[in-house]
A and B are shown apart, each in its own frame.
Chain A
Amino acid sequence: MSIVDEAPFFPAMSSYFRPDNWRSASGNGVTVAIIDSGIDGNHPELESKVIESVEARVENKKVLFEPSDSGDSAGHGTACAGIVSRIAPDAVFTSIKVLGAGGLGDGQAFLAGLEYAIKKKHRLINLSLGTTKPQFFAPLHDLLDRAYQAGCIVVAAANNLPQPSFPSVFSSSLISVIKSVDTDPFNFGFHYGQVIELTAPGVNVQTTWLNGGYRSLTGNSFACPHIVGVIALLLERYPDFTPFQVKSALYAIARENQERKKLSES
């Protein structure tokens, strides 16, 4: 039995986040920063939703970000944006392209992208990436602290591998997500006491892809934007929420889901 099964349930807190308070939101006024392979802004489902695109470029061993019109090089960023968009259709996107550019090593790329997003004080950041390189542990810790102090909500995907990946294993202000077979984006789970606290749909997820296409995708990468979509709805209703308040809200909603499930089973 995990700690969460024994943790107290706070009905008052759950009633504060009743679905009718936030599920009717559409992400209006919320910008989601996607640190990934870019976003294909010409996809019919994403048209006019990508309000800014920047791309990493290496110059004299420094990573610079410049406006980009190169779209998506792999499809992954477009897939993540599509998932967020289906949950929060009025949310808009900033694409921070860190993958696909030559010369950026594993970890270095998204570290630079995350730093850029925090400097720009993006409120909601989708980070479906991770690294297992120990040398990135401390810099990522520092960045996540800076994100918290700047009010940035960073949602990161865990990896599927036996080794722990950073920053997904950090437990302070970061929201880490792993895939579940569930298909309902609102029926996510919160497992307090486990390394990765949140579970969200991540198996055979139908979403947007390159050239106006669609794909059926499996991976923790695709669980992450499900939670980002839910947070976009919450931020529309509660725009001043801090990262910890968002985490508490997710916990309360997940506990409500759990209690409802128990009731229906009994």
Chain B
Amino acid sequence: MPEQDNSQFGDKFRQMIETIDVANLLTEPLTDSINSLLSTSATEIASREASVLVRDGDQGDLRFLTAIGQVADMLYGVKVPAGKGIAGFVFSSGQPMAVGNVGEESSFYAEIDKKTGYSTQTILATPLRHAGEVIGVLEYVNRPGEPPYASFTPDEMDKAAFYADAIASLVNAYEAAKLLRELGDKVLKDDQNMGLTELREWLHDLRNSTEHREMMDLGILMREIAGRGPGEREMCKELLEAILKFSDRNRETSFLSM
């Protein structure tokens, strides 16, 4: 690889690794938070299973992002084709609904049940909205105890809508961080000029470099501040913007080199 190309790739690669690391820093606590909120809401709504489905591509398909309950592990990543089943409808229509006797027909849910060995009997599904846009579906399935299960009530539907608001914000943040990570992965994958061993060594060196560790520490600090509340976030933003302005004005004698 020519020296010039290597140097350019190095810069690009460094940026991507930093992006991936920051994205990871963000996504891990987000998935924990989504699961935690999902679990709390399922208890509140008296549901046995709960899951979050998110859009998959731009053709209206969905996939299970996370789930809690008996067959949760089997649901991760399972795709729901556009408009199929109650989740598909709720996603495309934006209208929440509860269905009392799901198991009576051979529908999409029968296919999922066949795959998981579970018996879906009653469902409550509500859209996840962020900035007015439907970004996924929140689903509650069956009740604790033995069947037959009572249908979900209008009060539970209202509660689910409020939980959906909070979960939607987390899902949106998760998806944004994931996009960054995928972008980084794609750049790495597309670049065929560097051997895998060399790449690993460089990655190892990069992650052990003082500069990189400092950046990660900064990322962790910002995440900590962001979690404290809107006042702290605003103050942090103002401080960072002031630093940027100062840095722009003093670009010739940047204090970063002090």
Contacts and interface: CB of A to CB of B under 8 A. Distances in A.
A118 to B, nearest CB: 20
Interface string B90-110: 001111111111101111000
A255 B40 CA distance: 42
Nearest to A74: B89
A211 interface: yes
Given A132-B129, A162-B162, A213-B104, A219 B96 contact: yes
Interface string B120-145: 00000011010011100000000000
Nearest to B124: A218
A161 B101 contact: no
Residue among B96, B107, B132 with most chain A CB within 10 A = B132
Contact of A216 (B100, B107, B162): B100
B165 A162 contact: yes
A159 B101 CA distance: 22
Interface in A184-217: 202-204, 209-211, 213-217
Contacts of B219: none
Nearest to B122: A216
Interface residues of A, number: 49
A236 B59 CA distance: 41
**Majority DSSP secondary structure for residues of A touching B:** loop
B100 A162 contact: no
Contact of B151 (A73, A181, A204): A204
A64 B161 CA distance: 33
Interface stretch (B62-70, B77-85, B194-202, B210-218): B77-85
A125 to B, nearest CB: 16
Contact of A132 (B82, B94, B104): B94
Given A160-B126, A160-B161, A215-B101, A99 B132 contact: no
B83 A75 contact: no
A130 interface: yes
A219 to B, nearest CB: 4
B133 A218 contact: no
A164 to B, nearest CB: 10
A134 interface: yes
A213 B98 CA distance: 16
Given A74-B85, A101-B83, A209 B105 contact: yes
Contacts of A210: 105, 107
B100 A215 contact: yes
Contacts of B127: 161
Contact of A129 (B93, B98, B126, B132): B93
B94 A219 contact: no
Residue among A37, A134, A160, A204 with most chain B CB within 10 A = A160
Interface string B13-30: 000000000000000000
A218 B154 contact: yes
Nearest to B89: A74
B99 A134 contact: no
Given A75-B107, A103-B60, A215 B99 contact: yes
A37 B83 CA distance: 8
6 contacts: A74-B84, A99-B93, A129-B94, A133-B132, A216-B101, A219-B157
Interface of A: 36-37, 73-76, 99-104, 106-107, 109-110, 128-135, 157, 159-163, 165, 179, 181, 202-204, 209-211, 213-222
Interface of B: 58-60, 82-86, 88-89, 92-102, 104-107, 126-127, 129, 132-134, 151-154, 157-158, 161-162, 164-165
